[in-house]
Structure 1
Amino acid sequence: MPQLTQVSLTVGAQRLLELAQERAAPNKPDARHLLIAFLHRHALMALQIAPDLDVSALLQSVEDEIATNNPQYAVPLEEVLLLAYKMAQEEGENEIDSIHIGRALLALRGIGAPVEARGNLLSQFGLNLTEMARSGALPHVVGRDEEIAQLMEILCRPINPYAVLVGLEGVGRRAVVHGLAERIARGEVPEILRNRPVFSVPQIFDHPQFYAGIVEEASKQNAILYIEPFEAFLNAPLPQIEGLRWSFLSELVVRRVPVIGAVSSVELFRRRISRSPDLLKRFQPVLVHPLSAEETLEVLRQLAAKFSEQFALEFPEETLQTIVRVADEHILHRPFPDKAILLLDHAAGRAQTQNLRRVPPKVVWESASLVTGLPIGAGEQSMLERIKGLEAALKSRVIGQDEAIETLVQIFSMKIRRLDLRPERPNGVFLFVGPTGVGKTETARVLAEYFFGSSERMLRLDMNQFYERHTAARLLGAEFGYVGFEMGSPLLDFVAENPFCVVLLDEIEKAHEDIHKLFLQIFDDGAITDAQGRRVSFADAIIIMTSNLHPEEEVGFRRGAPSLEDWRKAFAQQFAPEFINRVDAICIFRPLEKEHIQRIITERFLPRIQKIYADRKIRLEVSSEAIEWLTERGYHERYGARELERTVERELMMLMAPQIPAMLDTLGQVERTVRVGVQAGRLVIEEV
């Protein structure tokens, strides 16, 4: 065995010794100080040696040994280096590298053994896209010439060959990488990129113990790594692999392994990686824009040809053009080509369930109706009929507000068909004004049920909770690493999961002006970026704001019913002009009259109550006097119909409840009739 002075060390190994000396100063370093230096600098390498190692726990244990002056593992550095040299020789190496020191240090503690190669890690965890392109397994890439050219230029850089594809989910980031692999396979690349394998490693971050091995293999094979889950990698909140993530990226940089990542926005990339300015300056973003309608149509033609071959499904050109048109007009929260491919897939499935071999445009419209929840099942004519039915549906549920409903339907018929000049804006921005309890919230609920199938597609936010400046952050969510990050945003999370929805902002005047500015951006752009860098589209959402402001209170009008101009003047004192100008329509809800309250009782509440008792073989009749009695007690000029439901429950249903057991036939065979009337100023019931 040679003496220590005769042992050759790599630069990395020498640096470990220097760090150990710095850690021990002014004392003499030993194996404990060297182990701390190794674990801090090469945590990935430690996991390669011992996959089950808890790096944090071992570091804490060694720190405690030094603090308590425990001599058990205070092995002289000479012994560590001699053991490391022996391990290097067994591998045919004449120099001690960092990994040999790490193996020696851990072996002295009885930890692990060198991880044997489990085959080719790149082949095990990745896909060789270059080979797939050569064999014709990858689809031909349409367009993307500009993005591919920019990507190749970055990968040819000798110092920083690191690119990040930036584009929304579904925009075609993977297609850019496929296009690169396709060109490498055809030899249509610069000399430095010729015959280089492009490996997609979609599950690399599920196996942090193999990071170092994968990087080493990529370096040896002169490979380009495409890290598709780069965004998830940056987002992962697991503290135990936090250091490993940045160590992994650092290893890539040190070994000059070209890397292609993919994220959904530049802001997200910068926020996640800003903690490492060195990495931030190395990675160059490549913006991936949505394909045009013409390019998307070409993509659909290729997919249709495959469907024809595999499933014997024929998509005529007219059908493909319909897919592009419908996706362009009615699915605005997704980019091309993703939304068109989504419709193609739905239409193919629907055609097969109907045993069709030729897919007509009608199937596309039906599929689009299922995807969006919009009334477009049989094309434009179906939508027109559905919109015509909206007015009747609203008037049957919302009584006494014909003026507001007619205004809403008039504007909505244009917005829902994307006939306006800015189709990327929300599917309607409405301001419902009027006193409380007159049907504003019920109107929003009917819209959600009528167009999107369920009232669960409506999100109601009480703006009373957002009256302070700092509450604007609650709508955007907390940034990565801050308290509340896991909670997300109640607004943006809902819209991201339910893009076709109704967002109800109750009492918008109570919100802070910063909240108004936030929604102004949504009204204008149709989208907003949250604190995590995720861009959420509101293009397919209906936004309804309610307000209880009144012109008489705000600008002094005291005579007659206020006009639309009166309302505008009232809002001019509360909101910025640009905010009001983004509203598609102001729908005025008037105070309810007594006749409206009577209609609500007879048309809304009474049928529901009668059904409840009919199920129990009781036929309920309510006299006009009883309805008048309930109207008087349930009507409040200031609160509208807000108290009406409670009044009906308290006065009528609670009166009936004690009488039901005596009225029920023991066998439930005989139907009984009960009449509700008024005697001596009180409701009374009698069996007829």
Structure 2
Amino acid sequence: MNNSKNLANAIKQAIEDCDFWRHEFVTPEHVLYAFASQDQFASACEWLPHDASWLITQLEKEFLSMEVVPETQKLVIEGSQQFSEMMSLAIKQAQYSDQNTLDVPHVVAAMLMLNDSQAAYLLDQFTGDEKGEFMQSLVSAYAVDETGEGAEGDDDDDANSPAPWRKLVTCVNDTYAAHNPLIGREAELERTMQVLCRKDKNNPLHVGEPGVGKTALIYGLTALIERGEVPERLRGAHVYMMDMGTMVAGTQFRGDFEKRIKMVMEGLAQEGNAILCIDEIHNLIGAGRNGDASLDASNMLKPYLESGAIRFIGSTTYDEYNRYIAKQKSLVRRFQQIDIAEPSVDDAIRIVEGLRPSYEKFHGVKYAAGVVEFAVRSAAKHIRDRFLPDKAIDLIDEAGAYRETHPLTTQKRQTVDRRLLTDILARVCKIDAEALKEQSNDALRTLESDIKKEIFGQDEAVARVVEAVQMSKAGLADDTKPMASLLFVGPTGVGKTEVARVLSERMGMKLVRFDMSEYAEKHAVAKLIGSPAGYVGYEDGGLLTAAVRKTPNCVLLFDEIEKAHPDIFNIFLQMMDYAALTDNHGERADFRNAIIIMTSNAGAQYASRASIGFTGSVSRGDAMLTTVKKTFKPEFINRLTDIVVFHDMSRQMASLILDKKLAQLQTKLSAKNVTLHLSTEARELLLTKGFTPEYGARELDRVIGSMLKPLLMREILFGKLKKGGDAVVDVKDGALRLV
């Protein structure tokens, strides 16, 4: 097999470099050093984070560590064992590509396949996750400049130069080794090979959700073909990948695109035993269409799909299949649909475990025992809008990248553990990390006492709220439901909304509040999940679904729910039962990490009459619950975790709340260097005026705002408290006065 001019020059340069450095053996590192010095190589990698000069610098450091032949000794240069192995693999790459000339991209692809090679390690670092794109750029760069002349001086340029159509497609046989190996999917692979071996309609169409491994299946099939582990009909087949963006790019005039399509199809047909893979095949619909003309890429390919001379493999998602391809009945009948389902959790663990060594090598880290299983199970549980194994692979990849950029100073071997993975998961899911840590429950232990410090006289209600939250945290609640769905019932001003606020603060969760009086009209229901298509506000989406997608770990408060239109409750049924809502764009919002709290005054007006009369034996709570059951539908009440009844305001509760309000006022006064002192009579007057069981704690706010704050305001602005001081408040003539 002949060598291209570029490859011959590189090997010659590698031998000269060996002589310069006084090295006895030509190694892949010397060859890579020569490649990095070529203009084509530099242009192929100019879009990577590192340029060719970085590679040259790293290789020169490596050369300094190699064994040197003394000047007094005669230097005889030979090829190393790895050099021979690399060239053998490169020749196989060229043969698989059905090319008679060995070129630089073949050698680079072979170099990436070497084990325990510093050249392979540096190339791996140099290209990162962009190996496939780098190989495509390399092939394009050398194809444009290739003359076809070999080391032996073959003058037949046209005979050895690649056909023009090859520049428009990528040969997967040359690049499959640079991608992650396919693990599992035996049934899908067997079905794909079975369809490819058919006489007619031998075109598989892989349909599956994003991230389940449709593209990986192509590389897995190519690997089987390269190893010869396929039926006789598929042996020696060349797998090509066509990108519609490359096909359309640069087509300025009418007919350019059609010419390219026809050139590629005829080239593949002449080659024989070719398989053309079209990723995102829905892009064929409308590609190249001009104005009202019906001719697009999909229509141009139909004759080739029918003939069977070229086998096609397409891949697309269910949404795009239904939107674009399902309408093209003539296109659908030419393909055999193969569903690529999301793997189970156990299968995903096996897949990610198989990929772990490559990620450990790339990031230079070690994944602790059990981390991969934890990543898969956590991703399956907490990431609802993506699919396995992609979302689990992203977790371990990002955790490895974080440890690589934030190394541990206490360890020589950098390790990725569950703690780090939990932090990464919290960022991806927008969930508080503490909510994901099963081992950290200190905040829950004191949650009840912490809430009781701010909520007075509602001990029973607080205890039931905390119990519902702790039940979910202990893992005894249903994983498919929200953490808790609670209905707070009680008179106004007794602390229903305040409990939700304090709970969100103590749990470190954001409080998302909806005032349900804004949803009294039937059409206002659409504001929560978005308006239907064709109506005003369709593009804005839903307020509720958008808020939960933005902050999944939250306390959702629906205040005064009885004021909302009854149709609202139909939305709540799905939210409380399946912890999910779908908005008008088809996007799902996940409520599994939310605590849903609804407040209602229903029945409060009847509670005070519960024990009136000689035979009044009905408790206040029972009276309120009776009204609640009349107000809300049975299916709504049946989905609640608990109904929490709040007591009426008592004088003792009012006294404690007054102290709390005065402490809050003192905090504001402290910023002005003012200290508030209330006499016993002044405090008693505020309590007497502010305590009414009918209006609850809000009456205390009004009394403080009307009787006490105006006194302080005038003195702070215009009087003796301008520069701070003590504000002593007493009672004179039945009113508050500053002494």
User: 1:321, CA displacement in angstroms?
Assistant: 3.7
- Return the alpha-carbon distance in structure 2 between the equivalents of residues 644 and 125 of structure 1: 78
Identify the residue that residue 524 of structure 1 maps to in structure 2: 577
TM-score normalised per structure 1: 0.66
User: 1:538, CA displacement in angstroms?
Assistant: 2.1
Identify the residue that residue 500 of structure 1 maps to in structure 2: 553
1:438 aligned onto 2:519: no
- Return the alpha-carbon distance in structure 1 between the equivalents of residues 371 and 359 of structure 2: 14
SS of match in other structure, 1:397: coil
Identify the residue that residue 348 of structure 2 maps to in structure 1: 296
User: 1:326, CA displacement in angstroms?
Assistant: 4.6
Query: Which AA in structure 2 matches 1:685?
Result: L
- Return the alpha-carbon distance in structure 2 between the equivalents of residues 443 and 437 of structure 1: 11
Identify the residue that residue 601 of structure 1 maps to in structure 2: 658
Structure 2 residue ranges without an equivalent (≥5): 1-142, 145-162, 269-274, 306-310
User: 1:418, CA displacement in angstroms?
Assistant: 2.7
Instruction: Report matched runs for 1:30-429 at 5 Å.
Output: 131-133=174-176, 136-147=177-188, 163=205, 165-167=207-209, 171-172=212-213, 175-176=216-217, 179=220, 182=223, 191=233, 194-199=237-242, 219=265, 223-227=276-280, 256=305, 260=314, 262-263=316-317, 270=322, 288-327=340-379, 335-345=387-397, 347-348=399-400, 351-352=403-404, 353=406, 354-355=408-409, 356=411, 357-365=414-422, 367=424, 373-374=431-432, 376=434, 379-383=437-441, 385-420=442-477, 422-429=478-485
Identify the residue that residue 449 of structure 1 maps to in structure 2: 505
User: 1:512, CA displacement in angstroms?
Assistant: 3.9
Query: Which AA in structure 2 matches 1:611?
Result: T
**Preserved CA contact (<8 Å) 1:504 1:545:** yes
- What are the superposed Cα offsets for residues 115-142 of structure 1, whole Å, 9 maximum, x if unpaired? xxx9999999997656432xx2211233
Identify the residue that residue 677 of structure 2 maps to in structure 1: 621
- Return the alpha-carbon distance in structure 2 between the equivalents of residues 308 and 361 of structure 1: 16
- Return the alpha-carbon distance in structure 2 between the equivalents of residues 122 and 635 of structure 1: 88
**Preserved CA contact (<8 Å) 1:375 1:386:** no
Residues 331 and 276 (structure 1), Cα distance of their counterparts in 2 relative to 1, 3 Å cut: closer
- Return the alpha-carbon distance in structure 2 between the equivalents of residues 332 and 139 of structure 1: 24
Identify the residue that residue 109 of structure 2 maps to in structure 1: none
Residues 261 and 661 (structure 1), Cα distance of their counterparts in 2 relative to 1, 3 Å cut: same
- Return the alpha-carbon distance in structure 2 between the equivalents of residues 286 and 130 of structure 1: 23
User: 1:423, CA displacement in angstroms?
Assistant: 0.8
Percent sequence identity over aligned pairs: 29
SS of match in other structure, 1:143: coil
**Preserved CA contact (<8 Å) 2:363 2:400:** no
1:610 aligned onto 2:669: no
- Return the alpha-carbon distance in structure 1 between the equivalents of residues 500 and 440 of structure 2: 22
Identify the residue that residue 104 of structure 1 maps to in structure 2: none
- Return the alpha-carbon distance in structure 2 between the equivalents of residues 226 and 684 of structure 1: 81
SS of match in other structure, 2:698: coil
SS of match in other structure, 2:677: strand
**Preserved CA contact (<8 Å) 2:562 2:600:** yes
Residues 160 and 411 (structure 1), Cα distance of their counterparts in 2 relative to 1, 3 Å cut: farther
- Return the alpha-carbon distance in structure 2 between the equivalents of residues 585 and 525 of structure 1: 17
**Preserved CA contact (<8 Å) 1:526 1:538:** yes
1:685 aligned onto 2:733: no
- What are the superposed Cα offsets for residues 95-117 of structure 1, whole Å, 9 maximum, x if unpaired? xxxxxxxxxxxxxxxxxxxxxxx
- Return the alpha-carbon distance in structure 2 between the equivalents of residues 261 and 544 of structure 1: 44
**Preserved CA contact (<8 Å) 1:202 1:228:** no
User: 1:275, CA displacement in angstroms?
Assistant: 7.8
- Return the alpha-carbon distance in structure 2 between the equivalents of residues 628 and 387 of structure 1: 37
SS of match in other structure, 2:589: strand
Instruction: Report matched runs for 1:534-573 at 5 Å.
Output: 534-550=587-603, 553=606, 557-558=610-611, 562=619, 566-573=623-630
- Return the alpha-carbon distance in structure 2 between the equivalents of residues 161 and 677 of structure 1: 92
Query: Which AA in structure 2 matches 1:412?
Result: V
User: 1:407, CA displacement in angstroms?
Assistant: 0.6
Deviates more, 1:646-655 or 1:372-381: 372-381
Max Rg structure: 2
Identify the residue that residue 655 of structure 1 maps to in structure 2: 711
**Preserved CA contact (<8 Å) 2:385 2:588:** no
1:579 to 636, 644, 657: 636
- Return the alpha-carbon distance in structure 2 between the equivalents of residues 224 and 597 of structure 1: 74
TM-score normalised per structure 2: 0.62
Identify the residue that residue 71 of structure 1 maps to in structure 2: none
**Preserved CA contact (<8 Å) 2:430 2:551:** no
Residues 358 and 571 (structure 1), Cα distance of their counterparts in 2 relative to 1, 3 Å cut: same
- Return the alpha-carbon distance in structure 2 between the equivalents of residues 634 and 280 of structure 1: 75
- Return the alpha-carbon distance in structure 1 between the equivalents of residues 683 and 259 of structure 2: 81
Residues 454 and 535 (structure 1), Cα distance of their counterparts in 2 relative to 1, 3 Å cut: closer
- What are the superposed Cα offsets for residues 163-196 of structure 1, whole Å, 9 maximum, x if unpaired? 47343x6555554555456556656667589423
- Return the alpha-carbon distance in structure 2 between the equivalents of residues 244 and 591 of structure 1: 75
- Return the alpha-carbon distance in structure 2 between the equivalents of residues 566 and 301 of structure 1: 59
1:487 to 511, 536, 540: 540
**Preserved CA contact (<8 Å) 2:452 2:459:** yes
Identify the residue that residue 24 of structure 2 maps to in structure 1: none
SS of match in other structure, 1:382: coil
- Return the alpha-carbon distance in structure 2 between the equivalents of residues 229 and 653 of structure 1: 68
User: 1:305, CA displacement in angstroms?
Assistant: 1.9
Query: Which AA in structure 2 matches 1:549?
Result: A
- What are the superposed Cα offsets for residues 423-479 of structure 1, whole Å, 9 maximum, x if unpaired? 12222222222223322223223333333x453xx3323333444544444433245
**Preserved CA contact (<8 Å) 2:325 2:331:** yes
- Return the alpha-carbon distance in structure 2 between the equivalents of residues 589 and 495 of structure 1: 28
- Return the alpha-carbon distance in structure 2 between the equivalents of residues 564 and 246 of structure 1: 73
**Preserved CA contact (<8 Å) 1:125 1:201:** no
User: 1:486, CA displacement in angstroms?
Assistant: 1.0
**Preserved CA contact (<8 Å) 1:184 1:196:** no
Residues 654 and 187 (structure 1), Cα distance of their counterparts in 2 relative to 1, 3 Å cut: farther
- Return the alpha-carbon distance in structure 1 between the equivalents of residues 294 and 469 of structure 2: 49
Query: Which AA in structure 2 matches 1:139?
Result: N
- Return the alpha-carbon distance in structure 1 between the equivalents of residues 382 and 187 of structure 2: 28
Q: Give the count of matched residue pairs.
A: 549
Residues 548 and 313 (structure 1), Cα distance of their counterparts in 2 relative to 1, 3 Å cut: same
- What are the superposed Cα offsets for residues 5-28 of structure 1, whole Å, 9 maximum, x if unpaired? xxxxxxxxxxxxxxxxxxxxxxxx
SS of match in other structure, 1:543: strand
SS of match in other structure, 1:223: strand
- Return the alpha-carbon distance in structure 1 between the equivalents of residues 454 and 291 of structure 2: 54
Residues 596 and 276 (structure 1), Cα distance of their counterparts in 2 relative to 1, 3 Å cut: farther
Residues 522 and 151 (structure 1), Cα distance of their counterparts in 2 relative to 1, 3 Å cut: farther
Bigger RCO (CA 8 Å, 6+ sep): 1
- What are the superposed Cα offsets for residues 591-623 of structure 1, whole Å, 9 maximum, x if unpaired? 2223323322322x3333223222222222233
**Preserved CA contact (<8 Å) 1:165 1:285:** yes
- Return the alpha-carbon distance in structure 2 between the equivalents of residues 601 and 583 of structure 1: 33
Residues 368 and 446 (structure 1), Cα distance of their counterparts in 2 relative to 1, 3 Å cut: farther
